[in-house]
Amino acid sequence: MATSEPGTAADGETVTRLEEEGEIAADYLEEFLDIADLDGDIDIDVDHGRAAVEIVAEDVNDDSLRRLVGNEGQVLDALQELTRLAVQTKTGERSRLMLDIAGYRATRRAELVEIAREAIELVRSAGAPVTLDPMNPFERKVVHDAVAEAGLVSDSEGVEPERRVVIRAV
């Protein structure tokens, strides 16, 4: 019997549920943009078993959406939580939806992969664990994935908002 990862085409029920989450989130965010008098297009996808929603500027020269990202993505994180709550209110189920605005998370993901690569090389060359600066859950997940892909191990230590990733050799 073949199995599939949740969110793949072979798991149609999960994909349908995630698409529904994306549609609910898009409706919520459309209303939010109208209230805030901001222009943006909303893209919906399913990525790694999660609904993924992105607000993109209609005009590439318009950077007004950056206000919805905030300092170090804090406003984006808050808006993501509000959107997840809106989805949960409609579906009755907890949502793991990911929200990106103006490409912030995509750009941050690339930066984090590079930080992880540098730390991985340091662990390999020095043999000692490397502790990174505090990160939010999204950022830690990106680093953990990069470390696992490189064949090393990582753990999160500490308490929010000072929770950090520690990378170790196997």
Whether 37 is in a domain gets the answer yes
Whether residue 113 is found in the same domain as residue 87: no
Record the pTM. Answer: 0.81
CA distance 100 to 79: 10
- Residue 160, domain CATH: 3.30.1370.50
- Domain residue limits at 152: 107-168
Is residue 1 situated within a structural domain? no
Token readout for 10 is 């072979």
Q: What is the dihedral of CA 26, 30, 31, 35, to 10 degrees?
A: 150
Per-residue pLDDT of the chain (170 residues; tens, 9 = 90+): 333 344 444 467 778 999 999 999 999 999 999 999 999 999 999 988 899 999 999 887 788 999 999 998 999 999 999 999 999 999 999 999 999 999 999 999 999 999 999 999 999 999 999 999 999 988 999 999 999 999 999 999 999 999 999 999 98
Is residue 7 a part of any domain in this protein? no
Same domain, 82 and 119: no
- Do 125 and 65 sit in the same domain of this protein? no
List, in order, residues 6 or more apart from 64 with CB less than 8 Å away.
Answer: 38, 39, 57
